[in-house]
Structure 1
Amino acid sequence: MKRGRLIQDYLADIFDVSQKAIKVVEGVAYADFEKNDEKIFAVIRALEIIGDAVKHIPDSLRAEYPQIPWRAIAGMRDKLIHDYFGINILRIWNTVQKEVPELLEVIKQMLENKSISEIQLRL
């Protein structure tokens, strides 16, 4: 029988995908990024996954980490999924350059928090 996913599983997803998104743009200038469909698609997909994963983090835990813009992350995911022709590539670039590394640091702290590892989320 398949076990339900834990909150820690979603945090690990966010952590792993954030690292991958950062790696995609490592050493890349914006002028090159905006012309590279593969990199754009990879970063957009990463942001979609991150946005989906944050929707599984309970409000009670989100409240303990107000420095993370939880709703904005989920909202960006919705925009990327449903309004894909209206995507602003510069916004995607700025997100992966500034906001994703900041998110990564906080998610790392959350994963190291023993009390979070004991919280279970069953789907």
Structure 2
Amino acid sequence: MTEQAKKYLSDMLNAIDLVNQFSKDTPDFGSYQADLKTKSAVERQLVILGEAVNKYSKAAPESPLNNIPQIVSFRNRLAHNYDEVDDTIVWAVLKKHLPALRQEVINLLKE
């Protein structure tokens, strides 16, 4: 793996960890939805995460990273359709998808 690809993986891990840090005091969807500062910070890190995934996919096209098209598409929706962001989808990504992606990134960094 190239150093550039490793950098993008590190950027992904950093963004995921920041999302977790920013959302740690929002235990449920209602509190997340009511906290505009947390929502803004989380969405920004998800955009960074998606951009890092996109760049990584070009730097390491043979990578086994899962769901690249879906992650990049989600990033594009957050960045370009900001007025149509569905908080329930963002919350689901935080709770259902980020933990697995984090582990996947850690495993790739160990290679």
Query: Given the two structures, how large is their TM-score scaled by the length of structure 1?
Result: 0.81
Equivalent position to 2:80, from 82, 103, 107: 82
- Equivalent residue letter for 1:34: Q
- Equivalent residue letter for 1:53: A
Separation (CA, whole Å) in 2 of partners of 1:112 and 1:25? 27
Separation (CA, whole Å) in 2 of partners of 1:101 and 1:25? 13
SS at match of 2:55: coil
Question: What do you get for the CA RMSD once the two structures are aligned?
Answer: 1.2
SS at match of 1:60: coil
Separation (CA, whole Å) in 1 of partners of 2:84 and 2:101? 24
Map of 1:48 onto structure 2: 47
- Equivalent residue letter for 2:100: E
- Equivalent residue letter for 1:39: T
Map of 1:117 onto structure 2: none
Identical residues among aligned pairs (%): 20
Equivalent position to 1:59, from 61, 69, 73: 61
Map of 1:37 onto structure 2: 36
Query: Given the two structures, how large is their TM-score scaled by the length of structure 2?
Result: 0.89
**Residue deviations 1:20-78 (CA, integer Å, cap 9, x gap):** 101222242211110111110111011100100011123211xx23xx21100000111
Structure 1 stretches of at least 4 aligned residues deviating more than 3 Å after TM superposition = none
- Equivalent residue letter for 2:47: E
Which structure's residues are more often helix, by fraction? 2
Map of 2:104 onto structure 1: 106
- Specify every segment of 5 or more residues in structure 2 that has no aligned partner in the other structure, as ranges: none
1:10-21 correspondence runs (5 A): 10-21=8-19
Map of 2:21 onto structure 1: 23
Q: Per chain length, whose mean CA-contact separation is higher, i.e. which structure has more relative contact order (CA < 8 Å, sep 6+)?
A: 1
User: Bigger radius of gyration, 1 or 2?
Assistant: 1
SS at match of 1:59: coil
Separation (CA, whole Å) in 1 of partners of 2:52 and 2:15? 10
